[in-house]
Each structure stands twice: as structure tokens, then as C-alpha cells.
Amino acid sequence: MKKFLDMISEEMQAAFEAAGYGEEQAGAALGRVTVSNRPDLCEYQCNGAMAGAKKFKKAPVMIAGEVAEKLRDSRVFSQVEAVPPGFLNLSLSEEFLGDYVREMSRTDKFGLEMPEKPQMIVIDYGGANVAKPLHVGHLRSAVIGESIKRICRYAGHEVIGDAHLGDWGLQMGLVIVGIQERQPELAYFDDSYEGEYPAEPPFTISELEEIYPASSARSKEDPEYKARAMEATYKLQTGVRGYRALWRHMMNVSVTDLKKVYSSLNVEFDLWKGESDVRDLIPEMVQNMKDGGYAYISEGALVVDVKEETDTKEVPPCMILKSDGAALYNTSDLATILERMRLYHPDQIIYLTDKRQDLYFDQVFRCARKTGLVEPQTRLKWIGFGTVNGSDGKPFKTRQGGLMRLETLIRDTKEEMLRKIREGREMSEEEARAVADIVAVSALLYGDLSNQPSKDYIFDMDRFTSFEGDTGPYILYTIVRIKSILTKYAQQGGSLEGLEILAPTGQAQKQMMMQLAGFNAMMESACEETAPHRVCAFIYDLANAFNHFYHETQILSEKDEAQKKSLIALLILTKDVLEDCIHVLGFEAPEKM
Ligand code: ARG
């Protein structure tokens, strides 16, 4: 369906044309209509007469008056007022709005148009590292990435989400020597061992997670230990059997655990690939970079220059191989681009990381373009997100001052939600827990996604879990409220099928329908701008509009049968729109709460 604002702008533009202020004469279309920024005065407005005044050497209010005249019998606007100094204040025709919203309720995805040429998009998000627990810093990459994936899919694109695990660098070597310290007798460390390795891993996930921080700390103080870790990394990367076998155990144990945590946030990756998956592509990629004359040796290392004339800051060369020939973080990222181009041929690759990696991605993208890893039209997009802070405005920490584990954060949110759900509700303990788990996810996700990604935000448990205000639980509460009205209606013998939305009868209802009418435009821009916060802002406004309407309107006791059916149809549409929106944000509503 055509976007609502476009439709009413067309009507306005036609009036400008008819009054002699057309696009040709004015040099631009003056009829753009926007949602009013003074809702107390009008519903929509057009400032085109102001913009045209100079060109036509006429007082804007005169132009506005002439345009208004042409809209006297408009089927789109019920009232058009030219007000000084030259604004057009607009009220919408109820019939027209009713027609549009009825059409929405009958159209797939409420009138969101599918792209003519769907894009193939790869999203690289999550950023988990094997053998290291997820911490609060990983929340945003997972949650924002998942939502962008769902939004782009909903908008008709083909999207692949890849976890891109950190599974190949020095961290792996550190864990290996950490295990060796604890259990030197294991067959994995015996170079002469030729038998089968045990199927059972020699550690649990909690042991594994203890090993990395201890080993990493020690390597910082003990150069000999660090050298051993580097040696172990090298042995792993060159394919020493025992090390590979041990690494596979680390992968299995760790990925099983990661999947558990991610799925508790409804984050689902299509691919669980990692840095290790592209190791075999590196030699070939490096050779091409050398053959193409892009890579050269500088101070022993192999580098590609990526600075550009227009740079205002220093952009250092992209290092491809260290002087000992070892690959780096960027080497994996570049080889991964090569692999993705070969396997999926994406139109776009989107990355989500902490915003401090901006220079890094600048270098990687420039290098990929320069060396021809991607085609000129392939978009490489990096989204850098801000930090999750505590109430002191500093990065969120545990009470003890340590890094907050993501699992702990999720658990604490569920506990707090349970406490709030129990208050004043009659529910069995079991039911309360199940509901709290669902609502807690909305609190976490909405608390994050309602912020612009690049901004830092304060993790405010009390606010995020509140049933009032701009929160996930408030949205769910609204959906549940609608569901319960619909259930009652059905219990009273009403059918939820074949209902028809009519023109609005009151101002609150009209406001709500105008909000609904903006759905397709909102979703389209949320996709184009990779901006889940737009979806949040939209459903917050819609939930408010609904609650206001609900407050003013007797729905189930409405006497006029056709009216009542129309109200029910409108409720169904509102619920469906809200549910699709929360689905693309990554959460669902319970049946009751
Ligand atoms: N594993 C990395 C880290 O912990 C994040 C990976 C981000 N994605 C990427 N393609 N580099 O910092």
C-alpha cells in the first residue's frame, strides 16, 4: 500500500498545482504534508506556502488561502485552514482514514510493500568468544543485531545472521596452556600419542570459564607463560592433532552454553561460524594482495595502506600478517568477507560491535574495497553501539566491581520481574514464573532497543521492569489488555472473523487510527536506517493512543452492533500490529500478566 503521508501529500500537491503553484512553476513540489507538531491545533500540516513565497513574490498566507480553496471538497481532508503567516493546518476526513485503515487490516503485513529486488544481507553480530563467558558488553551486539535481522527479513530481504565466534586467536592458546597446567597428564599434550582421544571433554563449562581469566592474567605477568600460550596457539593453528582435539572440546562445550544464553534472549543465529572457519582462505587471500601490489612488508609485517587524501585523522595501514607470519583479528575479518562473498554473494554485510572499533572497521572495509574482496556496489556497514552503564554513569559492573555476566543480568531481571508480577496478582507460583520470564525478556530488550544504538544508556532495572512508561512490560501489558477484551467478546458470543473497520467516531479513536496508518512508513525506515528504536517509538505511541482510546470508549457495551464490530476489528488490528512489532524486536507477549 502507498504510504499514508505520501497519499495525503499527493492530494495537497494536486491542490498546489491547481492553484498555479505547481512543481514546474515553483521548481519543487511544495505539497509535502507532515504530522503536526502542534497536535492541539491540527492533525497534519503543510508548510509549502511558506517555502514558495519568495519564488512567487506573494505573501505566504495568500498562497495558502488559494490552495485551501482548492481543497474545499477534498475527500482526504475534512478541514483545511490557512493561518498566518502561511501555514496550512489540516484535519483528516474520517471516511478517508477509515478506508485506509480498513485496507491495512486486509493487506499482508498491513500494507508494507515488499522490495522489487530483495537484498541479500549478512549480519555479523553477537561477537562471542569461545571459552569466555558472555558479559553485559555482549548484550547490545546480540539484541540489536537480532532485531535488525528480523526487521530486514520482515521488510522482505533475505538475511543471514552469523555469530562469527572468536575461536582462533591467542585466547585459545591461553586456555590450552591453562588446561595443561591443571591436567598435564592428558593425552592431548602427549606428542607421541597416536590413539583415539576421549569423546568426553576434560572440563565442564564452569571450569573452562575459570581457566581463561586466570590464564590471561598470568600471561600478563609471566613472559615465559605467555610464550607457551603463543606456542600453543601456533600448534593449534598448524594442526597439531592433540591441540585440535582439545580445541574441538572447547568449541562444543562453549557453543552449547552460548546457545543457551542467547536463546534465553530469543537470539538465534543461522550460522555459528567463527574465525577458524576461514583459516584456509588466508594464504590465497594474502597471495592475491601481494600479486595485486597492495600488500608490502613494513618493519617485518605485511601491510596494506588504507589512508585516503581526504582523511582528517591518521588512518594507519591495515596489518595483514605479523612479522612471525601469524594472522590477526583483521586477517580473519578480511578472509571472512572473502568467504561470505563466495558463499552468499551479499549485497550488504552489516557488523555490530562496540563503537570503539570504528577505526578498526574503517581500516578493514577500506582494505576489502581496495584489494577487491568486495564488488564496488557491495555495502559494508558497521554499526557501533554505546556502552551499557550503571546508575553512576560508568560501565555496568557487579556490586563487587567485576564484569557483569550476561547470565547474571538476565537472571536478576527475571527475579525482579517475578517480584513485580507476584505483587497484587493471583497466579500460581509456576505461572507467575513463566510469565515473569517472558516479560523480563521484553524489559531487557526494549530497555536496550529503545535507545539509538550509538548512544550509551543506563541500565535501570526498576524502570526497565516497570509496567508504566516507555518500557517493554508496558507494551506487553497493552497487548494483554487487548487480548482480554477480545476473549471477553468471544465469550459473549461474538465472532472475531469477518469484521470491518469503519470511520472513526471520536477523537481518541481517530488518533489511534492515524498512528496505525503510519505503520508501513515506520517499518520501511526502520529497515533502511537499521533502527530498531524507531519500532519502539512507534509502538510506545500506539500503546499510548490505544490506552487513551480504551479509557474513553465503552467497547463491549456499545449498543450499535456495526459500531461494536468495527471497534473489535480495530482492536484486532492494533494487537496484530503490536505483535508483529515486538516480534521484530525479538520478544513475545504472554496470554495474561
Ligand atoms: N569477538 C570479538 C570481540 O570480542 C567481536 C567480533 C566482532 N565481529 C567481527 N567481525 N570482528 O571483540
pLDDT in tens, 360-390: 999 999 999 999 999 999 999 999 999 999 9
CA of 161 to the centre of ligand 1 (A): 14
Read off the pLDDT of each residue in 535-554 and give the average, rounded to a whole number.
97
Pull the grid cell for residue 51: 517555502
CA of 333 to the centre of ligand 1 (A): 9
Between strands 301-304 and 44-46, the pairing is unpaired
- The answer on pLDDT for 552 being more than 80 is yes
**C-beta 87 within 6 A of ligand 1:** no
pLDDT digit string, tens, across residues 253-282:
999 999 999 999 999 999 999 999 999 999
Q: Mean of the per-residue pLDDT values for the chain? A: 96
**C-beta 145 within 6 A of ligand 1:** no
Give the closest residue to 138 by CA, choosing from 166, 179, 168.
166
- pTM of the full structure: 0.95
Pull the grid cell for residue 227: 610464550
- Counting from 1 in the atom list of ligand 1, the atom nearest the Cα of 353 is 7
At residue 576 the predicted structure's pLDDT band, cuts being 50, 70 and 90, is very high
pLDDT digit string, tens, across residues 23-58:
999 999 999 999 998 888 899 999 999 999 989 999
pLDDT digit string, tens, across residues 93-128:
999 999 999 999 999 999 999 999 999 999 999 999
**C-beta 164 within 6 A of ligand 1:** yes
- The answer on pLDDT for 400 being more than 90 is no
Give the closest residue to 420 by CA, choosing from 442, 393, 448, 445.
442
Give the closest residue to 186 by CA, choosing from 106, 242, 113.
242
Closest C-alpha residue for ligand 1 atom 10: 333
Contact 585, 537 (CB under 8 A): no
DSSP string, 383-406: EEE--EE-TTSSBPB-TTSSBPBH
At residue 79 the predicted structure's pLDDT band, cuts being 50, 70 and 90, is very high
Max Cα–Cα distance, the chain, nearest Å: 95
Nearby residues of 209 by Cβ (< 8 Å), 6 or more positions away: 131, 132, 133
Read off the pLDDT of each residue in 71-88 and give the average, rounded to a whole number.
96
Q: Please give the share of the chain, as a percent, with pLDDT higher than 90.
A: 93
- The answer on pLDDT for 444 being more than 80 is yes
CA of 126 to the centre of ligand 1 (A): 8
**C-beta 275 within 6 A of ligand 1:** no
At residue 237 the predicted structure's pLDDT band, cuts being 50, 70 and 90, is confident
Contact 384, 358 (CB under 8 A): yes
Using CB atoms within 10 Å of the CB of residue 365, give its burial: 0 to 12 exposed, 13 to 18 middle, 19+ buried: buried
pLDDT of residue 325: 82
Read off the pLDDT of each residue in 145-166 and give the average, rounded to a whole number.
98
Nearby residues of 92 by Cβ (< 8 Å), 6 or more positions away: 8, 43, 44, 76, 77, 78, 510, 514
- The answer on pLDDT for 424 being more than 80 is no
Mutation pick for ligand 1 pocket among 122, 123, 129, 273 (CB with most ligand atoms within 8 Å): 129
CA distance 17 to 30: 9
Nearby residues of 384 by Cβ (< 8 Å), 6 or more positions away: 353, 354, 355, 356, 357, 358, 361, 453, 454
Q: Please give the share of the chain, as a percent, with pLDDT higher than 70.
A: 100
Higher per-residue confidence, 121 vs 391:
121
pLDDT of residue 245: 96
CA of 166 to the centre of ligand 1 (A): 7
At residue 307 the predicted structure's pLDDT band, cuts being 50, 70 and 90, is very high
